[in-house]
């Protein structure tokens, strides 16, 4: 079974697929990220379904993305020859779409023999609806293999002759040097379907897709350290964005375990408001103004249905999400059952999300945006809600239902919500509103955090008021301007967190109970730590050291999962994870700022 | 012959027919999108094709409704059931003759004998448009029967 880090992502801003190092597409949901899966082999290699293209003989495998793109190339070197498989989902500009018919969705796999001769096998084994429905494949000869799933049609076109089996279809072909085999898998729910031709049109499609991605990645205005890793993170983040609505999902997958063999398996194919502010900052910081504005617009649009209350997560169009349901017929990744779809945390009472949304809007204003009357009213409504509710216990950023607590981070984000609203009022962006109430509650929240969030015995900020447990989320405290990274309290907290939550340099568990529950260290916390140092919590050299210590935990393509197993270094949890890549980008942005400041100082 | 009655009822009944076919697609009875299919005769752009296709479908509906009206005038009878029978015949004609002939006249539709090419990439409809979903014939027949019923049921009302 492949490891989580053995996967690569390809996509088109509507959905994405995971391609294994061994050439198998083991995760694909069509037509959206949260649609039922067509391939879910990553969750059960026998039942889930996959689409594998690989040499029959053992091969040495190397892979890479074509520079500045999300076009994947996997090179299989066997003792008889070498093939390169290029996997991508076509992406074009609207202008290019004008001139030719395009399928609604498509995955292209091009196999080129570049040396000697290689016998390859293609196994197409779709299992629709999370492998709950039977796949009846029909061979329509020149029109390709057809699979009807309700109103949807999947077609696979190729020049290779397939043999239909009881489950799936199978083909074998020997490719000689300079020979190419193209395969095109398309989806449609609208007839007539577009059946793309193979050969030269695929070459053109590939060229256009490479151009599109390179044009997009060349828009990055970031010129600081770790530029290559930052661009890869931006490209990964882009693949988790849903272009039609402007939002980002937390991760591509469901139920990849935070602890192998454990039950910490959740569906992340939704949009968490808690990720908002960091994501907006990363996008603006890289110069992706359009994406940042679209995301803020989605934030404001999606939250309208529940005003003034916010819910923890929404789907890609801002709709409510179903409660989680278990899929007992799937064994789960390395037997990590249950596999869940849907997510029940939407009903949780989580206070930090108000601060996240308002901070996201504040980033927009800092970048020159303005707020219309309706948005101003909405933001004030959030502020009033925070003033009425911040004294209540909640589930906290890590969504812990039992028991509800007065989480320090939740109070911090309530403080952020009011602080940013006051700032927006002072900037003239919230008109005709008195800010006295916001000022008073902001003062009260600060007082509470300073008195109850600080444990004088431990000499540390704690996870919850009057508590003794530590939490790595406290690294984020200076990022919001609540307490400086050089303050005595933050420095002491840093030491305590390093002592109790760090199993290896620059790796951090989320909190103490998460260690007992067997989960790995949290990727984002590592980047928060690096950013904390970069913002003054340590020397520039220490910040670089931390960043460099985290980078090797990415896979060979630069992709991060949610968590890292500190013992093996393996990726854990859903993959790839937007929050971790956002953390990388923000840490790099802070490092660049620090370098700039120090360079100025030395001049 | 009541020309204004034909223009009005031809337009209304075509709107209803188009709506029923769109609803059938939305409800998962068929994948067939008639405006998209017609519009791609003129442009490969999906969105623009649908707009152009709606326009041409309405023109087609008007032309076909004229045949219904002429039938009513010739037999000097117009009832919903006669309209329904004509609609059924019309629907069967569309399924058995009109749509299967499309690969021959549609510049972007592939044929089963030659497969897709750079220009011709649209999936051919197959017998009774079954390639667009096994329930496609049902939705086509229902839409055309309703089309005929509206014309037959209301035509003489417009004559006053």
CB distance from B100 to chain A under 8 Å?
no
Question: Mind listing the pLDDT tens digit for each residue in A111-128?
Answer: 999 999 999 999 999 999
Query: Tokens at residue A378, please?
Result: 């909405």
How would you classify the pairing of strands A60-65 and A81-88?
unpaired
User: Above pLDDT 90, what percent of chain A?
Assistant: 85
Q: B-chain residues within 8 Å CB-CB of A196?
A: 116, 121
CB contact under 8 A, B123 and A150: no
Contacts of A153 in chain B (CB under 8 A): 31, 123
Put simply, whether B125 touches A (Cβ < 8 Å) is: yes
A505-to-A497, A536, A568, A577 alpha-carbon distances in Å: 12, 19, 14, 21
Distance from CA of A130 to the nearest CA of B (A): 19
How many Cβ contacts (< 8 angstroms) between chains A and B?
91
Specify the higher pLDDT residue, A400 or A340: A340
Contact at CB, A192 and B132, closer than 8 angstroms? yes
Q: What's the gap in Å between the CA of A193 and the closest CA on chain B?
A: 5
- A584, pLDDT greater than 60: yes
Q: How far is B72 from chain A (nearest CA, A)?
A: 34
Q: Does residue A432 have a pLDDT over 70?
A: no
**CB-based contact A151 B40, cutoff 8 Å:** no
Residue A430 has pLDDT above 70, yes or no: yes
Q: Give B4's pLDDT tier (boundaries 50, 70, 90).
A: confident
Say yes or no for a CB contact (<8 Å) between B118 and A200: yes
The reported pLDDT for the residue numbered B158 is 75
pLDDT in tens, B51-95: 999 999 999 999 999 999 999 999 889 899 999 999 999 999 999
Q: How confident is the model at residue B159 (pLDDT cuts 50, 70, 90)?
A: low
Q: Which of A220, A221, A184, A47 is nearest to A102 (CA)?
A: A184
What does the block give as tokens for A398?
């890590």
Query: B29 — contact with chain A (CB < 8 Å)?
Result: yes
| Start-to-end CA span in chain A (Å) | 55
Closest CA to A406 of A415, A419, A394, A423: A394
| A4-62 pLDDT tens trace | 999 999 999 999 999 999 999 999 999 999 999 999 999 999 999 999 999 999 999 99
Backbone angles phi, psi at A472, to 5 degrees: -65, -15
pLDDT at residue B49 in the model: 93
Nearest by CB: A151 against B31, B123, B131: B31
Most B-contacting residue of A106, A155, A192, A194 (CB-CB within 10 A), to test interface: A192
Tokens of B15: 């709107």
Chain B contact set for A193 (CB, 8 A):
31, 122-123
- pLDDT range class, residue A99, cuts 50, 70, 90: confident
Shortest CA gap B3–chain A (Å): 35
pLDDT at position A322, please? 86
pLDDT attached to residue B2: 80
Residue holding tokens 């999962």? A561
Distance from CA of B82 to the nearest CA of A (A): 31
pLDDT of residue A433: 64
| Stated pTM of the model | 0.93
Find the residue in A nearest to B132 (Cα). A191
What pLDDT, on a 0 to 100 scale, did the predictor assign at position A302? 85
Chain A residues whose CB is inside 8 A of the B110 CB are 143, 195
Residues of B in contact with A152 (CB under 8 A): 31
Confidence of residue A599 (pLDDT cuts 50, 70, 90): confident
**Cβ distance of A151 and B117 shorter than 8 Å:** no
Sign of CA dihedral A173, A175, A179, A183: positive
**CB < 8 Å to A188, chain B:** 31
Nearest-by-CA chain A residue for B38: A192
- B31 contacts on A by Cβ (under 8 Å): 151-153, 188-191, 193
pLDDT at residue B160 tops 60: no
Q: Which helix (H) or strand (E) holds A113?
A: strand A105-125
Cβ of residue B46 closer than 8 Å to a chain A Cβ = yes
Contacts of A532 (CB under 8 A, 6+ apart): A475, A478, A479, A485, A490, A494, A538
Q: List CB contacts (< 8 A) between B112 and chain A.
A: 140-143
Which A residues 195-224 touch B at CB under 8 Å?
Answer: 195-197, 200-201
Pick from A151, A152, A193: CB nearest B123: A193
Tokens 């100082």 locate to A601
Read off the tokens for A391. Answer: 């004294």
> Residue A603: what pLDDT?
60
Q: Is A153 on the interface with B (CB under 8 A)?
A: yes
> Cβ of B99 under 8 Å from any chain A Cβ?
no
Q: Quote the CA–CA distance of A251 and A343 in Å, as a whole number.
A: 13
Query: pLDDT grade, residue B5 (50/70/90)?
Result: confident
DSSP conformational letter for B123:
P
Q: By percentage, how much of chain A surpasses pLDDT 70?
A: 99
Q: CB–CB of A200 and B125 under 8 A? A: no
Is residue A141 within 8 angstroms of chain B, CB to CB?
yes
- B38 to chain A, any CB pair closer than 8 A? The answer is no
Asked if residue A485 lies in contact with residue A537, where contact means CB atoms within 8 angstroms, the answer is yes
A457-474 residue pLDDT tens: 999 999 999 999 999 999
In this complex, do A191 and B30 lie within 8 Å of one another by their Cβ atoms? yes
Contact A151 B115 (CB under 8 A): no
Closest partner CB to B122 (pick from A142, A155, A192): A192
Q: Mean pLDDT, chain A, as a whole number?
A: 94
Flag whether residue B137 sits within 8 Å of chain A, measured between CB atoms. Answer: no
Structure tokens given for A114: 């570049």
Is B118's CB within 8 Å of A197's CB? yes
Specify which of A76-85, A94-103, A367-376, B99-108 reaches the highest per-range mean pLDDT.
A76-85
The percentage of chain B sitting over the pLDDT mark of 70, rounded to a whole number, equals 98
Predicted ipTM? 0.88
CB contact under 8 A, A143 and B45: no
Token couple for A355: 């601060």
Dump pLDDT digits (tens) for A125-162: 999 999 999 999 999 999 999 999 988 999 999 999 99
Please calculate the CA angle B51-B56-B61 and round it to the nearest 5 degrees. 125
Buried/exposed A311-333: b ≥16 CB within 10 Å, e otherwise: bbbbbbebeebeebeebeebbbb
The three-state secondary structure class of B5 is: helix
Nearest to A321 by CA among A247, A417, A392: A247
Q: What is the mean pLDDT of residues A299-314?
A: 86
For A182-186, A521-525, B43-47, which range has the lowest pLDDT when averaged over its residues? B43-47
A10: alpha, beta or left, given left = phi > 0 and alpha = psi -120 to 50? Answer: beta
| A527 closest CA partner among A511, A512, A549 | A549
Q: Which residues of A touch B118 (CB under 8 A)?
A: 197, 200-201
């Amino acid at each position: 079974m492949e490891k989580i880090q053995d996967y690569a992502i390809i996509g088109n801003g509507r959905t994405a697929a995971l391609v294994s190092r061994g050439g198998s597409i083991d995760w694909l949901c069509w037509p959206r990220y949260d649609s039922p899966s067509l391939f879910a082999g990553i969750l059960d290699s026998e039942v889930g379904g996959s689409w594998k293209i690989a040499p029959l003989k053992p091969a040495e495998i190397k892979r890479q993305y074509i520079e500045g793109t999300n076009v994947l190339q996997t090179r299989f070197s066997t003792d008889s020859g070498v093939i390169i498989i290029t996997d991508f989902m076509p992406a074009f500009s609207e202008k290019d779409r004008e001139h030719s018919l395009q399928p609604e969705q498509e995955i292209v796999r091009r196999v080129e023999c570049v040396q000697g001769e290689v016998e390859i096998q293609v196994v197409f084994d779709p299992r629709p609806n999370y492998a709950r429905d039977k796949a009846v494949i029909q061979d329509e000869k020149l029109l390709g293999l057809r699979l009807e799933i309700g109103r949807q049609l999947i077609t696979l076109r190729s020049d290779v002759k397939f043999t239909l089996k009881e489950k799936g279809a199978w083909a074998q072909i020997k490719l000689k040097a300079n020979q190419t085999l193209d395969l095109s898998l398309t989806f449609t729910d609208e007839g007539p379907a577009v059946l793309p031709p193979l050969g030269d049109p695929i070459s053109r499609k590939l060229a256009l897709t490479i151009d599109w991605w390179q044009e997009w990645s060349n828009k990055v205005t970031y010129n600081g350290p770790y530029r290559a890793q930052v661009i890869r993170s931006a490209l990964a983040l882009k693949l988790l964005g849903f272009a039609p609505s402007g939002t980002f999902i937390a991760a591509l997958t469901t139920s990849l375990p935070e602890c192998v063999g454990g039950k910490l398996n959740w569906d992340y194919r939704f949009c968490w408001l808690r990720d908002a502010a960091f994501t907006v900052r990363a996008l603006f910081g890289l110069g992706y103004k359009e994406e940042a504005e679209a995301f803020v617009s989605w934030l404001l649009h999606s939250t309208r249905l529940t005003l003034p209350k916010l819910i923890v997560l929404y789907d890609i169009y801002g709709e409510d999400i179903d409660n989680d349901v278990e899929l007992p017929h799937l064994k789960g990744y390395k037997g990590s059952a249950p596999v869940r779809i849907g997510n029940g945390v939407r009903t949780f009472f989580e206070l930090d999300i108000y601060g996240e949304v308002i901070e996201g809007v504040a980033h927009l204003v800092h970048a020159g945006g303005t707020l219309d009357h309706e948005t101003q009213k909405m933001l004030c409504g959030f502020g009033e809600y925070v003033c009425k509710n911040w004294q209540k216990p909640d589930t906290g950023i890590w969504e812990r239902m039992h028991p509800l607590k007065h989480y320090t981070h939740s109070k911090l984000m309530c403080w952020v919500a009011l602080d940013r609203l006051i700032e927006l009022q002072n900037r003239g962006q919230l008109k005709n509103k008195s800010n006295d109430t916001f000022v008073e509650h902001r003062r009260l929240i600060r007082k509470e955090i300073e008195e109850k969030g600080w444990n004088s015995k431990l000499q540390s900020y704690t996870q919850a008021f009057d508590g003794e447990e530590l939490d790595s989320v406290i690294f984020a405290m200076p990022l919001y301007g609540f307490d400086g990274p050089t303050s005595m309290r933050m420095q002491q907290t840093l030491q305590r967190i390093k002592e109790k939550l760090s199993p290896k340099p620059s790796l951090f568990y989320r909190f103490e109970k998460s260690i007992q529950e067997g989960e790995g260290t949290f990727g984002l916390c590592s980047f928060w730590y690096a950013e904390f140092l970069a913002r003054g919590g340590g020397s520039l050299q220490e910040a670089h050291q931390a960043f460099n210590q985290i980078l090797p935990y990415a896979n060979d393509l630069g992709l991060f999962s949610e968590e890292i197993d500190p013992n093996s270094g393996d990726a854990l949890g859903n993959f790839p994870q937007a929050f971790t890549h956002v953390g990388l980008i923000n840490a790099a942005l802070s490092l660049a700022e620090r370098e700039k400041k120090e360079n100025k100082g030395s001049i | 012959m009541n020309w204004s009655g034909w223009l009005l009822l031809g337009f209304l009944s075509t709107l209803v027919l188009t709506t029923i076919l769109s609803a059938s697609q939305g409800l998962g009875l068929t994948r067939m999108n008639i405006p998209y299919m017609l519009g791609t005769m003129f442009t490969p752009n999906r969105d623009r094709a649908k707009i152009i296709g709606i326009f041409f479908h309405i023109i087609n509906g008007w032309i076909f409704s004229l045949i219904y009206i002429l039938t009513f005038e010739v037999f000097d009878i117009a009832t919903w059931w006669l309209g329904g029978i004509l609609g059924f015949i019309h629907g069967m004609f569309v399924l058995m003759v009109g749509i299967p002939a499309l690969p021959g006249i549609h510049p972007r539709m592939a044929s089963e004998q030659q497969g897709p090419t750079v220009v011709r990439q649209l999936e051919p409809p197959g017998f009774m448009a079954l390639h667009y979903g096994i329930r496609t014939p049902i939705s086509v027949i229902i839409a055309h029967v309703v089309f005929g019923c509206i014309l037959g049921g209301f035509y003489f009302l417009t004559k006053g």
